[in-house]
Structure 1
Amino acid sequence: MRTDVQAGVPGAAGEAGVPVRDLRGAPRASWELRCRAGDLLVVSGLPGSGKSTLIRRVAPALDGRGEPVPCLDSQDSRARLERRLPARLPYGLYRPLARIAHYARLRAALRSGASVVVHDCGRTGWVRRWLAREARRRGTGLHVLLLAVAPDTALAGQRTRGRTVSASAFGRHRRAMERLVAAAADGRVPAGAASVVLLDRAAADALGSIAFDPGPS
């Protein structure tokens, strides 16, 4: 199965005029997500839901123009700092530095004009608004891939990766994701987004690739 999202046209996920494609409970046949070169793709989900793993597995190294596709994950910035700082230093002390480094990398990627894949926890609405403004400036599209997994599944994922978030932080993430998923299920996309693809764990596992095809917006 192929799911296309058309850049610059509010509401086109798979077919014209349909801003949301809900693949939860869909058959487990392999499928691919195709965007336009220059589009911005946000992958949102609870901490531990598998966003980083999904991006590493399916995001392309190059878009259809032969240009690199930056994949921006805040955990990469955290890992870089961890390698340079004493192991005994609590993450909470340098969390602001990790976030600054992440957003600096995101800003540089956006200024390059590249197709970009962005890891997002769902809480940072201002980041999606920033990306939406950038997409409008470019004349391309912002698309959202919503990974809707059960909270227990996400918590198990945190334990498996050996990195957990506090109960209060997880609660905030959970409420934010519930709002995003409920809106998508009702056919509404985040402000400024052109489309949303809503996935459960099975649909995410069946996603074979993401591509950014060349062509006019």
Structure 2
Amino acid sequence: MNRTTAYATTSAVAVPEQQAAPARGACGARPAPLLRDLRERGGHTPHALLFGPRDLVVITGLPGSGKSTLMRRTVRGTRIDSQDTRDRWAARMPRFLPYAVYRPLVRLAHYAGLRRALAAGKGVVVHDCGTQSWVRGWLARAARRRGGTLHVLLLDVAPDTALEGQRERGRGVSRYAFLRHRTAAARLLRSVEGGDLPEGSGSAVLLDRDAANVLRRIGFTG
């Protein structure tokens, strides 16, 4: 595990592009995953994170941690956010109809849109709720097939802050669902901090609220 922790305040950090997995029988191994910890620096962190042109980036964290806000403000290129899909469906549905009724259709539309974006072959930033590890596995395989790398951006926000974020946006999840998200997010954070990145990922970036607020661009080179 390569670990990098020091950055200039106004720099744009290019996350190194990794080579695709070697063919069966080929010599050599993939480069060691890279961990960048940008937390607890009072905002003295990069203004941009840049990735390879065929890379995939997953942004994960608790509901209300600011994933969608960060994506809308910073992503230069294709972004796939399940919240965008939900909002589009909600605008078409009768207001009295509970979201739970059409949630399966929203999820189906979200994953269909993600599949189309992956097929285009360009860099994509994806919103991840953190509880469905199979999505990260799917993205890691897709990145390898297209000659890119999967990168994980993890928003490390306290549960109370995330709950406040839900109240501010006027939309939250149930207590049971939030506990499930909290458990999954804590497990992922402990794993990454210990140097065990999600399977198939080439790097992880840890962000607190200050580091996320400083970011102005998440994009792709080339």
Task: Provide TM-score, normalisation by structure 2.
Answer: 0.87
Query: Which of 61, 66, 70 pairs up with 1:50?
Result: 66
Query: Which of 5, 29, 35 pairs up with 2:15?
Result: 5
Provide the rounded CA distance (Å) in 1 between the counterparts of 2:105 and 2:152.
Answer: 26
Provide the rounded CA distance (Å) in 1 between the counterparts of 2:33 and 2:42.
Answer: 20
Once the two structures are TM-superposed, the CA of residue 7 in structure 1 deviates from its matched residue by 2.5
Q: Does 1:115 pair with 2:123?
A: yes
Task: Provide closer, same or farther for how the CA distance between residues 103 and 37 of structure 1 changes in structure 2, counting only shifts above 3 A.
Answer: same
CA contact (8 A) 2:33 2:197 kept: no
Corresponding residue for residue 25 of structure 1: 40
CA contact (8 A) 1:148 1:201 kept: yes
Superposition map of 1:33-44 within 5 A: 33-44=49-60
Provide the rounded CA distance (Å) in 1 between the counterparts of 2:122 and 2:189.
Answer: 28
Q: 5+ unaligned residues in a row in structure 2: which ranges? A: 1-10, 21-30
SS in 2 for 1:194: strand
Once the two structures are TM-superposed, the CA of residue 17 in structure 1 deviates from its matched residue by 4.8
CA contact (8 A) 2:38 2:207 kept: yes
CA contact (8 A) 2:33 2:202 kept: no
Once the two structures are TM-superposed, the CA of residue 79 in structure 1 deviates from its matched residue by 1.1
| 4+ long deviations beyond 6 Å | none
Deviation string 1:165-206 (CA, Å, 9 cap, x unpaired) is: 000000110011101111111122101100000011111111
Deviation string 1:86-129 (CA, Å, 9 cap, x unpaired) is: 11000000000000000000000001112100011111101000
CA contact (8 A) 1:38 1:115 kept: yes
Q: Percent identity?
A: 54
Once the two structures are TM-superposed, the CA of residue 9 in structure 1 deviates from its matched residue by 4.8
Deviation string 1:13-34 (CA, Å, 9 cap, x unpaired) is: xxx8561111111242351211
Q: 5+ unaligned residues in a row in structure 1: which ranges? A: 11-15, 61-68
CA contact (8 A) 1:20 1:188 kept: no
Q: Does 1:91 pair with 2:117?
A: no
Report how many residues are paired: 201
Task: Provide TM-score, normalisation by structure 1.
Answer: 0.89
Corresponding residue for residue 127 of structure 1: 135
Query: Which of 187, 191, 195 pairs up with 2:195?
Result: 187
Structure 2 letter corresponding to 1:196: A
SS in 2 for 1:126: helix
Superposition map of 1:149-160 within 5 A: 149-160=157-168
Structure 2 letter corresponding to 1:148: D
Deviation string 1:27-53 (CA, Å, 9 cap, x unpaired) is: 423512110111100000100000000
